Chain A
Amino acid sequence: MTRTHLDQTLANSRVVVVAGSGGVGKTTLSAALAVRAAIGGRRVAVVTIDPAKRLADALGIAGQTAIGNEPVRIPLDDAHGELWALMLDTRSTFDALVDRYSPNADQAQRIRSNLFYKNISGALSGTQEYMAAEKLYDLNGDERFDLVIVDTPPTRQALDFLSAPARLRRFIDHPVYRIVIAPSSVGLRAVSAVSQPVLRAIAKVVGAQALDDALAFFRAFQGLDAGFRQRAHDVDRVLHEPSTAYIIVTSGQAEPVAEATYFVDALESANVAVSLVVANRLMPYFGGGDISLPAPLAGNLRELADERRAEESNLEVLRTARPDTPWIRVPLVPELVDERLDTFASLRLLGRALGDAD
């Protein structure tokens, strides 16, 4: 085999989803993977769902190029391919969908100005995940790119985006949804819908005003649901295609490893195989010292080796739970911790570490 597992994943996938718990290096790795794949000749779009500006920082373009909802090209002089970056804007992605499926501008306007819509189309969990999947679908079909790398936010909801399309479909198909939208066809107002026991119960929880807004939204949404349902189906398909790879990132600390184990299990129960686990930021191996070393230096070698051993024993939990999942280990790169180097240089360092690590 001439290619490492990582490079095969980058070469053969159309989508790579990077997930893991907070601060383990998802954004940095996504950027490094994108740079590596672009250098290797692919036309890559890296998209971050994380609203933080970390991707721009990681790519070293903060303050120069604004990353927004549309892909921007990042210059890379020695690349055979291309590097593009974008940041998910849930609201504008949702707006674009509404515009696309509304039969006319008037209906689109009615939906967009609805209070419920304004709430759910913001950064709410659930919607955000669905819009992420949506964006991914869009990019996947975009002729300009042959690889899309997705940097997910540090929460459980990173996985919700896998099930988001199915949830949306279930909702649209739900009998209660039918009840909710039914009255409008015969011209009744929200008040009468609220008299339904189910809706009365909901109103009691969320408040009548909120429910009214929601009902108005669902009415305005009518006619769009078929389009949305089909779309959700297509998005779902992309998420489960074999050309979509999932990379789970962890550090060697106990908490992220436990989270990573949870992620791997959850993906598996969603019928998705994890392509690769990246154990990032590990204490480097320095090698042994000879007996004539001054005590503080010898002691230090021992202590650092100890730290690495502790990390390995944490990682063992995941390894024994998932013996067949491929792994790579990436050492901690001090320049990256301190954000000392020019970031592009450090991404290359990390890219190299990734390449050597297999």
Chain B
Amino acid sequence: MDPKLFLSASRVFIVAGKGGVGKSTVAATLVTAARRVGLTSLLVETDGKPLLVGGAGDRGLTACTITPAEALAEYLDSSGLGRISRRLVTSGIVDVVASASPGIDHLLVLGKVKQLERGRAADVIVVDGPAAGHALTMLRTPRALADSVVVGPIKQQANDVLGMLNDETRCQVVLVTIPEPTPVNEAVETAFSLEENIGVRLAPVVVNRVDVHPPIDIPDVLAQDSAAVRAARFRNDRIAGHARCLDDLSRRLPLPRIQLPLDTHATLADRTDQLLGAIENLEGGAP
């Protein structure tokens, strides 16, 4: 499908996946891809981690970071509690008492994302979410709070965020995984849980680092314990393993798939080409 159509199908894409699957790289690639097709884009980092190797700043991307503490301070400010808020936050007491409403920090971060979205901070806002298990907790929070808190600003905030999460033109989740059994299992579980419990729309799942090499023919005449043969076996194992996992994924998860190749030397520009190519290969009109 047309990449521009694809990327403007939703204003926010929350990228979720386990550390090491390339979640941050995929997020940065989405941001660049959006720019490539003429859309303005913003990268949002959520857990205050150090900007990674070749971080957003280095790559000339527009980026911002949201941490729960800052989101909380800002929220307190906007509730007219500016003076007292700093003391509350630095004393750590809010941390403890906020435990009474578990997940309030997550809600505040999502609230801030929603604010960026409402304010049309960019055509496409890409959120580099927390690691998979945590992403789930984070995204479940608004529903839980909307159900359990009866009145007040938290209820309001939770409902507003839910409004964003449940509207596919405003927000979609991009799950990133790699073609190995454990990450695939986790992606499948996360996907079902997201759809069932939160009702958030899932964008095509990104399978990163796929070995797309054809199997290597190993002639019998070669010494079977030579380096070349061992390496070829290793590679063939990996190729077969990836194919099995992709198979497994498509059987268990009825979502379109974007595959990105395992490519050690790819630059951000290369990855952007690869992503745009994969999007073009997706079937259908608007997702």
Binding site for B on A (CB under 8 A): 21-24, 52, 54, 115-116, 119-120, 122, 124, 126-127, 153-156, 167, 170-171, 174, 176-177, 197-198, 201-202, 204-211, 213-214, 251, 253-259, 261-262, 284, 286-289, 293-294, 296-298, 300-301, 303-304, 306-307, 310, 314, 317, 334, 337-339
When the two chains form their complex, are residues B93 and A176 in contact, meaning their CB atoms are under 8 A apart?
A: yes
- Known contacts A197-B84, A253-B20, A255-B24: A205-B102 contact under CB 8 Å: no
CB of B121 to closest CB in A, whole Å: 25
What are 24 sample pairs from A and B whose C-beta atoms fall under 8 A apart? A120-B99, A124-B99, A126-B95, A198-B88, A204-B79, A205-B81, A206-B100, A213-B100, A255-B19, A255-B20, A255-B23, A259-B19, A259-B49, A289-B226, A294-B217, A296-B232, A297-B229, A300-B231, A300-B232, A303-B213, A334-B234, A334-B238, A337-B181, A338-B241
Contact with A along B46-76 (1 / 0, CB 8 A): 0101101110000000000000000010011
Chain B residues near A122 (CB-CB < 8 A): 102
Binds A, one of B148-156, B197-205, B275-283: B148-156
Option from B99, B131, B149 in Cβ contact (under 8 Å) with A207: B149
- Known contacts A205-B76, A255-B20: A289-B264 contact under CB 8 Å: no
Option from B79, B96, B231 in Cβ contact (under 8 Å) with A171: B96
Option from A116, A286, A303, A317 in Cβ contact (under 8 Å) with B99: A116
In the bound complex, how far is the Cα of B79 from the Cα of A197, in angstroms? 14
When the two chains form their complex, are residues A171 and B99 in contact, meaning their CB atoms are under 8 A apart?
A: no
What is the total number of residues of chain B having a CB less than 8 Å from a CB of chain A? Answer: 72
CB of B102 to closest CB in A, whole Å: 5
User: 8 Å CB contacts to A: which residues of B94-110?
Assistant: 94-102, 104
When the two chains form their complex, are residues A310 and B264 in contact, meaning their CB atoms are under 8 A apart?
A: yes
Binding site for A on B (CB under 8 A): 18-25, 47, 49-50, 52-54, 72, 75-76, 79, 81, 84-85, 87-88, 91-102, 104, 130-134, 149-155, 180-183, 213, 216-219, 222, 226-232, 234-235, 237-238, 241, 264-265
- Known contacts A206-B104, A209-B150: A127-B21 contact under CB 8 Å: no
CB of B176 to closest CB in A, whole Å: 11
When the two chains form their complex, are residues B20 and A207 in contact, meaning their CB atoms are under 8 A apart?
A: no
In the bound complex, how far is the Cα of B149 from the Cα of A208, in angstroms? 10
Instruction: Choose among B97, B131, B230 the residue with the greatest number of A CB atoms under 10 Å from its CB.
Output: B97
Option from B88, B134, B152, B265 in Cβ contact (under 8 Å) with A201: B88
Residue of chain A at shortest CB distance from B231: A286
When the two chains form their complex, are residues B53 and A170 in contact, meaning their CB atoms are under 8 A apart?
A: no
Chain B residues near A284 (CB-CB < 8 A): 234
- Known contacts A155-B134, A284-B234: A301-B91 contact under CB 8 Å: no
In the bound complex, how far is the Cα of B84 from the Cα of A202, in angstroms? 10
19 additional A-B pairs beyond A124-B102, A201-B85, A303-B235, beta carbons within 8 Å, are: A22-B19, A116-B100, A171-B96, A174-B91, A201-B81, A202-B93, A210-B97, A213-B100, A214-B97, A251-B20, A254-B25, A254-B54, A255-B53, A259-B49, A288-B227, A293-B222, A297-B228, A310-B265, A338-B180
Chain A residues near B87 (CB-CB < 8 A): 198
When the two chains form their complex, are residues A127 and B234 in contact, meaning their CB atoms are under 8 A apart?
A: no
When the two chains form their complex, are residues A22 and B131 in contact, meaning their CB atoms are under 8 A apart?
A: yes
When the two chains form their complex, are residues A167 and B229 in contact, meaning their CB atoms are under 8 A apart?
A: no
When the two chains form their complex, are residues B20 and A256 in contact, meaning their CB atoms are under 8 A apart?
A: yes
In the bound complex, how far is the Cα of B19 from the Cα of A257, in angstroms? 10
Task: Count A-B contacts at CB 8 Å.
Answer: 199
When the two chains form their complex, are residues B231 and A304 in contact, meaning their CB atoms are under 8 A apart?
A: yes
Option from B24, B79, B153, B234 in Cβ contact (under 8 Å) with A286: B234
Residue of chain A at shortest CB distance from B23: A255
Residue of chain A at shortest CB distance from B47: A156
Chain A residues near B47 (CB-CB < 8 A): 156
When the two chains form their complex, are residues B152 and A207 in contact, meaning their CB atoms are under 8 A apart?
A: yes
When the two chains form their complex, are residues B182 and A205 in contact, meaning their CB atoms are under 8 A apart?
A: no
- Known contacts A119-B99, A284-B234, A306-B264: A258-B50 contact under CB 8 Å: yes
When the two chains form their complex, are residues A304 and B235 in contact, meaning their CB atoms are under 8 A apart?
A: yes
When the two chains form their complex, are residues B84 and A198 in contact, meaning their CB atoms are under 8 A apart?
A: yes
In the bound complex, how far is the Cα of B153 from the Cα of A208, in angstroms? 11
CB of B156 to closest CB in A, whole Å: 11
Option from A119, A211, A256, A289 in Cβ contact (under 8 Å) with B19: A256
When the two chains form their complex, are residues A21 and B19 in contact, meaning their CB atoms are under 8 A apart?
A: yes
In the bound complex, how far is the Cα of B79 from the Cα of A156, in angstroms? 29
CB of B138 to closest CB in A, whole Å: 11
In the bound complex, how far is the Cα of B239 from the Cα of A300, in angstroms? 12
CB of A165 to closest CB in B, whole Å: 14
Chain B residues near A210 (CB-CB < 8 A): 97, 100-101, 149
Chain B residues near A156 (CB-CB < 8 A): 47, 49
Chain A residues near B94 (CB-CB < 8 A): 202, 205
CB of B242 to closest CB in A, whole Å: 10
In the bound complex, how far is the Cα of B200 from the Cα of A252, in angstroms? 33
Instruction: Choose among B54, B87, B134 the residue with the greatest number of A CB atoms under 10 Å from its CB.
Output: B134
Chain A residues near B219 (CB-CB < 8 A): 294
When the two chains form their complex, are residues A287 and B227 in contact, meaning their CB atoms are under 8 A apart?
A: yes
Residue of chain B at shortest CB distance from A197: B84
Chain B residues near A204 (CB-CB < 8 A): 79, 81, 152-153
Chain A residues near B238 (CB-CB < 8 A): 334
- Known contacts A167-B92, A170-B92, A171-B93: A127-B99 contact under CB 8 Å: yes
- Known contacts A258-B52, A259-B49, A262-B49: A301-B228 contact under CB 8 Å: yes
Chain B residues near A126 (CB-CB < 8 A): 95-96, 99
- Known contacts A155-B134, A257-B53: A23-B237 contact under CB 8 Å: no
CB of B88 to closest CB in A, whole Å: 6
- Known contacts A205-B76, A297-B231, A300-B235: A339-B99 contact under CB 8 Å: no
Chain B residues near A256 (CB-CB < 8 A): 19-20
